[in-house]
Amino acid sequence: MCVEDVFDTHQGRTVLVTGRIERGRVREGDEVEIVGFDGGTVLPVGGIDVYRRRVAEARADMNVGLSLPGTASGSVARGQVLAAPGSVGAHARFTADIALPADDHGGAEVRTGERLQIHLRAAVVRGAVTLAPGTDVLRPLHGGTVTVALEQPVALEEGQPFAFRHHGRAAGTGIVTRLTH
Residue 12: pLDDT band by 50, 70, 90 thresholds? low
pLDDT score of 106: 75
Which pLDDT score is estimated for 142? 92
What are 17-33's pLDDT values in tens digits? 999 999 999 999 999 99
Average of per-residue pLDDT values in the chain: 92
Summarize pLDDT for 82-110 with one digit per residue, the tens: 999 999 999 999 999 999 999 888 778 89
**For residue 31, what pLDDT is reported?**
96
Q: Is the distance from CB of 174 to CB of 156 less than 8 angstroms?
A: no
Residue 151 clears pLDDT 70, i.e. is over it: yes
* Residue 148 in this model has a pLDDT that exceeds 90: yes
Of residues 35, 121, 25, the one with CA closest to residue 66: 25
Of the ranges 17-26, 68-77, 132-141, the best mean pLDDT one: 17-26
CA distance 2 to 78: 8
DSSP assigned state of 71 = P
Residue 163 has pLDDT above 70, yes or no: yes
What gap in Å lies between CA 1 and CA 104, rounded to an integer? Answer: 35
pLDDT of residue 103: 84
